[in-house]
């Protein structure tokens, strides 16, 4: 089976990172809420969307090391590879931030993957040539199709419901903070094996 996996908020867990970085920079007050959504909503409500864009650039670039792998992600992916499945990482990620310091997001993500044993180890789930960072959502979906993925795991419904998402590909929605109320929804990496058709 060919299994594609998203990166940000699917393998890499940024819980609390946006809040901590924004607080450290003095861009928010401590009482606004710690989730990414709460931080984003604060900037939007304050009519400071460019600042939110800049914050994303900082978090996904030089502060990516604050992200941690989701619990069970590495073990699950290692197990899938050992079972003989082909794994691809397919991410929608621009190379450089729109606003702020010019940091190579693709390189930052690869360094994070290496630091957290997802590449560069004997039993790592990915090789360098199985990582695909796409500048746009459309190219990401086309890459999923091109790789002939049988399954794709992503935290964003807009990827899995995209008009060009291959109908032959099983879509698994990874959202750990929502109740599991639909068949294609997983809340923890240990649920992946049970969901594979």
Which CATH number does the domain 2-13+68-195 belong to among 3.40.50.1000, 3.60.20.10, 3.40.50.300, 1.20.120.1770? 3.40.50.1000
Q: 8 pairs with which residues across the strands?
A: 12
Give the pLDDT confidence score for residue 34 in this predicted structure: 86
Torsion of CA 18, 24, 29, 32, to 10 degrees: 20
Give the domain ranges of the chain.
2-13+68-195, 17-65
Q: 113 pairs with which residues across the strands?
A: none
Give the pLDDT confidence score for residue 74 in this predicted structure: 97
| Residue carrying structure tokens 């990401």 | 140
Tens digits of per-residue pLDDT, 62-105? Answer: 999 999 999 999 999 999 999 999 999 999 999 998 887 889 99
43 within 8 A of 55, measured Cβ to Cβ: yes
For 73, other C-beta atoms within 10 Å of its C-beta total: 24
Give the pLDDT confidence score for residue 114 in this predicted structure: 98
Give the pLDDT confidence score for residue 171 in this predicted structure: 95
Give the pLDDT confidence score for residue 35 in this predicted structure: 87
For 175, other C-beta atoms within 10 Å of its C-beta total: 16
- Output phi, psi for 86, to 5 deg: -95, 125
Tens digits of per-residue pLDDT, 154-193? Answer: 999 999 999 999 999 999 999 987 765 667 889 999 988 8
Give the pLDDT confidence score for residue 196 in this predicted structure: 80
């Amino acid at each position: 089976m060919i299994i594609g996996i998203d990166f940000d908020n699917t393998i890499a867990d940024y819980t609390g990172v946006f809040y901590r970085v924004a607080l450290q920079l003095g861009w928010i007050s401590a009482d606004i809420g710690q989730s990414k959504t709460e931080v984003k909503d604060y900037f939007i409500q304050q009519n400071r969307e460019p600042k939110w864009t800049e914050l994303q650039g900082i978090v996904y670039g030089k502060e990516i090391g604050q992200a941690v792998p989701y619990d069970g992600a590495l073990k699950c992916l290692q197990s899938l590879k050992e079972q003989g499945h082909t794994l691809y990482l397919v991410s929608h990620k621009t190379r450089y931030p729109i606003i702020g310091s010019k940091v190579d997001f693709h390189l930052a993500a690869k360094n994070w993957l290496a630091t957290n044993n997802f590449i560069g180890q004997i039993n790592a789930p990915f090789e360098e040539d199985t990582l695909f960072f796409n500048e746009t959502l459309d190219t990401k979906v086309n890459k999923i199709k091109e790789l002939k993925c049988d399954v794709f795991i992503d935290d964003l419904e807009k990827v899995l419901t995209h008009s060009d998402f291959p109908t032959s590909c099983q879509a698994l929605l990874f959202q750990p903070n929502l109740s599991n109320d639909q068949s294609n929804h997983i809340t923890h990496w240990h649920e992946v094996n049970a969901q594979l058709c």
